[in-house]
Amino acid sequence: MILTVTLNPAIDSNLIVDGLGEKERHLVLKSRKVAGGKGVNVSRVLCRLGTRNQAFVMLGGKSGAGFQSLARRDRIPLAMIRIAAETRTNLTIVERKSQRQIKLNQPGSRVAAADLRRIGSALQKKIRSASIVVFSGSLPPGIPPRFLTGMIRHANRLGKRTVVDTSGPTLAAIKKIPVWLLAPNDEEWRSIGRSAPKAKWVLVSLGDRGAELSGPGIHLRKKLKRQKSLCTIGAGDSLLAGFLHEMLKTNDPEKALAFGLACGAACVMNPPGQLADLKTIRKVLRRQ
């Protein structure tokens, strides 16, 4: 079972509008809210691929209840802990014709010290039942990078395969901690000098330039045929989900990279918030 860990989940509100120019008013053509956060995105795609998983999240306030309802609607299995801090809401605006995007992310409410202790205890218990643990996304105020590094070390001690997809000071903090897979984008990878000496595998998302995978005796770089793009948000999470699914299935890194890329391409072909789905993934694979 794969456990995804999202310590800063969000309700993602996605709007498609008729323009992003200088007009005072624009028309919202479509709107959709989903339970989001990078690890939750990975879980969403894993569910569609039929890979057993659970999304560990901490939820608070009315928006936390709304998040739970949205996850239930989309059949995302949650391992949930209630906290005092209100769950954040993020906004993505996409212009219909140009596909220009504006993404507004809240930092999240501050997590109280007492809640952090409960979160740590609950997460340690959930890690025991997983084979792969995916730590993904940002940290809200009140959760220091050392909390995440402690959880990674705990998972390592239990013999779990650890996956990390984060950025900024948190990424720098885990750079020299043993992990099974590090999954940065190109900008994040360059921010740490393109070096993670204790990561067994490194999967770097390169956007429309594809992805590269480095591991024991292997360095692969692959790019798929160009696809029509509607929204690039979540493509890296879809890539990671597809890679993990295929790696578990075949233990073949080359096949896993190719399938992960197909999932990433399927994501950008879909409206914001939808991510990769089986129908679109199959369409991408037929075109290769």
DSSP 111: P
| CB proximity list for 99: less than 8 A, separation 6 or greater | 229, 230, 231
pLDDT tens for 229-269 read 878 889 999 999 999 999 999 999 999 999 999 999 999 99
| Consecutive H or E run containing 16 | strand 10-17
What is the rounded end-to-end Cα distance, in angstroms, of the chain? Answer: 30
pLDDT tens for 51-100 read 999 999 999 999 999 999 999 999 999 999 999 999 999 999 988 888 88
| CB proximity list for 243: less than 8 A, separation 6 or greater | 183, 203, 256, 257, 259, 260, 263
HSE-up (13 A, CA, CB side) for residue 172: 6
For position 265, what pLDDT does the model report?
95
* pTM beyond 0.85: yes
d(CA 251, CA 218): 14
Q: Would you place residue 163 in the very low, low, confident or very high pLDDT band (cuts 50, 70, 90)?
A: very high
Quick check: 112 pLDDT over 90? yes
Q: What is the CATH number of domain 12-287?
A: 3.40.1190.20
